[in-house]
Structure 1
Amino acid sequence: MKRKVLICIDWFLPAYKAGGPIQSIANLVNHTKTEFDYYIATSNSDLDSPLSLPEEALNVWSEKDGFKVVYLDPAHQNLKYYKQLFIKEAFDVVYFNSLFSQKFTLLPLMLFKNLNIRKVLAPRGMLGKGALEIKPLKKKIFLTLFKVLGLQKKVVWHVTAESEAFEVYKHFGKGCNVLLAPNLSAKTKQKIEPKEKKVNELNVFFLSRIAVKKNLGEAINYLAEIRSSYHVNFSIIGPKDEMEYWQDCEVKIKQLPKNISVKYLGAIPHQDISKKLINQHILLLPTQHENFGHVIMESWQNSCPVIISDQTPWQGLEKDKLGFDIPLTKKNEFIAAIELFCAMNKDEYHIWSNASVNFSKKFTENPELIEQNKALFLNTLNN
């Protein structure tokens, strides 16, 4: 008999603007739904707007493609309704897809706190130094409350890299029950057409939420110092999560030299991303922190090398011609990496492009990763 797994997540498909966390769960469910009975509890909204769902589809379990989902409106995101909705289902496992979520982590975790049910929590990179520096007081209070209630001892921590395990131990102690299981990705397309690439020209894209953590402003700063002999087309893809920050970025964009062309493409549903990346050459993402970075893997899957910060699990990229991972303090290295790709001809670029897509195929088709993710839900013991 398959184990029943409840997944609590703030946003889920058809929502897409929240990016990586949605894809993490969608990929996990698609890879393993023959092994588990999944029930997904989520809100009836996307990152900044309500979903277009009929009234009768809210606050009740609905059958989807091999799993069940309930879209909860704000009036039903409370402990009283959770008790009514969840307890009767007799779940074997509950999986929390965030650390700093009041409605979809803290409240349901309080409900299940003392029940004999396996509780798994994915911090999703929220314990990284860069992430904690954003709204630090609010997060410090949350972490303090979490520890006072002893919740860190009630869960199995799902980390996606050794660096994230270190973060959990740092904040909650060595006694935490930690399991490593890298995020699963959608399968790489079997056939990728070679990209056109002209010498001294480069198509660069930023793919993420427009927020301080993702560091779009710093990416624009790098482009401002690219030599005038190089022409860069810069495409910005992602929702305007923090409007004041976006306005600061707009000011910088207007001050860019003539050899840098910028287009804001907005938020794009995940299923349409590949179409937008057909003519792109590299991802530029000087993020302050990622525990995985689905957009990085998606770039490789679409044969685009990456120029990213060293604040992700992806390290030593240059030796395998996958791109560059650079400390945020080394601005000149970011600029040099962009100019290196600018100067490449088609044949030189294809070496990096092919290395990227081949790496993504090897990673996404690794059966060991699927087994690691299944292990999150299989062990009946809990702290």
Structure 2
Amino acid sequence: MTPQLNYDVLVILDYYLPSRKAGGPVTTIVNLTELLGDEMRFLILTRRRDIDGKVYDHMPAGRIMRVGKADVIYLDDSKLTLRDLTQYAQLSGATTLYLNSFFSPLSFSFLLLRRLGQIKMDVILAPRGEFSRAAYVLKGAKKELYRQLVDRMGLLRGLRWQVSSAYEAQELKQILGERNDVMVAPDPFSVSQSHKTWTHDRDLIYLSRICRNKNLHYALQCLAKVRFPVSLDIYGPIEDTSYWEECQAHIKTLPSHVQVQYCGVLAHEQVRTTFSHYGAFLFPTGGENYGHVIPEALSAGTPVILSDRTPWRDFEEAGVGYVLPLEAPESFVAAVEVLVGHSPQEREAIGARCQAYAQAIEQQPQVRQQNIALFTQPFKRGQL
């Protein structure tokens, strides 16, 4: 090991760039380090593989690499022992430990090391939507048992919880009860381009991980009730193969005027351009703490048909889509028929509104202020 370094924040994340199969947390940390990387030094500790097990052979293990405005250490699974993690934490010199999952074994290891006094750092824990209704109910009994065990071991004392919205804070409260150690710091959003790019020459797109809580099957059930010809292109990694088989069974029962195809996984740089081809993004998700893919669609001029299980609310008022209750599938059917039925001129107008909405999100000054406060506001001291 080299002498102690002087990072401000040690970020613990199961997967990082070049991964894009691991979902929103990767994008969140990319955007966060780009936003604050000029005034804070971030060191990211992560696995040297993607969520599907693919190893990053081109990334040297255990060495510090510059990725954007952060430094990253990629570790093989054999180097994730408590001893190794202690050494890397001490090496970093960081005073703040930033955990990006509650249920990750990596997070548990660091919480345990802190409880045992092996590392002495302030801890911020961002559950990244793991306490949403749709996510928590999956293997819910095991999750609740684990949560109670971690709490009884005293691993949660004296840390700070981060949520990305008041909506996520309420979800956290429903499971953890009233807490005075929760801070709202919205996920940063960044648009790489701002000029008009949309074409809207296709109907509907679904772009997300294919797993139960993302609700692709619900989208397919709604499409079965649409009265005129419509197509849906599905993009995203197949995370749950048995669930995908269920979705394929739904696809086979769709009427002949509804066409659905799976189009594979997109590289991040392809996402915005791909969105720009579609008349609407159909995303009846079971729950998102933020959902980076939502403003990404809007930035491409594509309206969103969204469930009410996310922080986003004012789409209909802003003229950029719909936020609808999952208890009313007929409202999703109606929204599809409206947006897909728009004329080219109507699509042009809605595209402009969507892009303006996304640009306003990116330029919100409070996002930067709240994220700086997350790392700089003094912690409440108490017994660990």
Is TM (by shorter chain) over 0.5?
yes
Residue 136 of structure 2 aligns with which residue?
132
Which of 276, 289, 292 matches 1:291? 289
Deviations 1:159-215 (A, max 9, x none): 111121123333333234111111001125221135356xxxx51011110000001
Q: Could you tell me how far apart the structure 1 residues matched to 2:32 and 2:6 are?
A: 16
| Amino acid corresponding to residue 207 of structure 2 in structure 1 | L
Whether 1:255 and 2:253 are equivalent positions in the alignment is yes
Structure 1 residues 256, 173: closer, same or farther in 2, change over 3 A? Answer: closer
Aligned match of 1:272 in 270, 273, 285? 270
Percentage identity across paired residues of the two chains: 30
- After superposition, residues 1-383 of structure 1 pair within 5 angstroms as 4-54=8-58, 57-103=60-106, 105-113=107-115, 114=117, 115-187=119-191, 189-196=193-200, 203-227=203-227, 230-383=228-381
Asked whether the equivalents of residues 92 and 117 of structure 1 are also in contact (C-alpha less than 8 Å), the reply is yes
Cα deviation, 1:274-310, whole Å, max 9, x if unaligned, reads: 2322311211111111000111111111111101110
Give how far 1:372 is off.
0.9
Contact persistence 1:303–1:354 (CA under 8 A): yes
TM-score of the pair, normalised by structure 1: 0.93
- Aligned partner of 1:304: which letter? T
User: What is the distance in 1 between the residues matched to 2:197 and 2:265?
Assistant: 25
Q: Report the Cα offset of residue 347 of structure 1.
A: 1.9
CA offset at residue 322 of structure 1? 1.7
Change (3 A) 1:153 1:175: farther
CA distance in 2, matches of 1:354, 1:290: 25
Following TM superposition, by how much is the alpha carbon of 1:380 offset from its aligned partner in structure 2, in angstroms?
3.6
Q: Which moved more, 1:205-214 or 1:174-183?
A: 174-183
Amino acid at match of 1:333: S
Alpha-carbon distance in 1 for matches of 2:129, 2:225: 31
Q: Is the 8 A contact 1:2 1:35 kept in 2?
A: no
Verify the 8 A CA contact 1:153 1:177 in the aligned structure 2.
no
Contact 1:118 1:380 in 2 (8 A): no
Q: What is the alpha-carbon distance in structure 2 between the residues aligned to residue 2 and residue 48 of structure 1?
A: 33
TM-fit CA distance, 1:68:
1.4
Secondary structure in 1 matching 2:191: coil
Do the aligned partners of 2:279 and 2:340 also contact (CA within 8 Å) in 1?
A: no
SS in 2 for 1:152: coil
Q: Secondary structure at the match of 1:153?
A: coil
**Residue 15 of structure 1 contacts residue 51 of structure 1 at CA under 8 Å; is this kept in 2?**
no
Residue type matched to 1:302 in 2?
A
Q: SS state of the match for residue 99, structure 1?
A: coil
- Shifted more, 248-257 versus 7-16: the winner is 248-257
Amino acid at match of 1:297: P
C-alpha RMSD of matched pairs (Å): 1.8
CA deviation after TM superposition for structure 1 residue 270, in Å: 1.0
Q: Is the 8 A contact 1:309 1:326 kept in 2?
A: yes
Offset at residue 217 of structure 1 (A): 0.8
Deviation at 1:33, TM superposition (A): 0.5
Amino acid paired to 1:9? L
What is the CA-CA distance between 1:2 and the residue it aligns to? Answer: 8.0
User: Residues 231 and 78 from structure 1, CA distance in 2 versus in 1: closer, same or farther, beyond 3 angstroms?
Assistant: same
Give the Å deviation of 1:3. Answer: 5.6
**One-letter amino acid matched to 2:78:** A
Count of equivalent residues: 375
